Amino acid sequence: MSYCELCGHQTFEKKMVVVDGTVFNVCIACSKRGKPYTSPQIAVKKKKPFAAKKPQKKIGLADETILTPNFARLIRETRMKMGLTHEQLGMKMNEKAQILKKFETGSLKPDEIFAKKLERYLGIKLYVSANSDEE
């Protein structure tokens, strides 16, 4: 048994409502006076996946890109060509060397944001057209 925060009456079932921007636990009768409360977690918009502003060269299905299957080798080879250690590259990118190592062994896949970052720092292309036949 608990009490309604609006009318003060005892109530078995309580509802959360918003009245004048404040959340109250109220009885069913009082719940009609406010808007149903929705938790902020639901209200908050989900983070949009990273959408790169790329020039629209091609229009259509060919625009779909995927992480290249040989990203591990590509990252490793490019980094070595640049004469950088994991630590040095990590520092440049403000990322952990440990993560870079994982990418290079293929035990971890960079997410899109990280992949774009790698592309920028290494000057490589990690995202390839999903329709391409390369490897």
Minimum distance of Zn ion from residue 16's CB (angstroms):
13
Binding Zn ion (rule: CB under 5 A), the pick from 17, 24, 30, 79 is 30
Nearer to Zn ion, 20 or 135 (CB): 20
Max distance between CA atoms of the chain, in angstroms, equals 75
The yes or no reply on residue 6 touching Zn ion (CB under 5 A) is yes
Instruction: Measure CA of the first residue to CA of the last residue in the chain; give whole Å.
Output: 67
> Residue 78: exposed, middle, or buried by beta-carbon count in 10 A (0-12, 13-18, 19+)?
middle
The yes or no reply on residue 126 touching Zn ion (CB under 5 A) is no
Footprint on this chain of Zn ion (rule: CB under 5 A): 4, 6-7, 26-27, 30
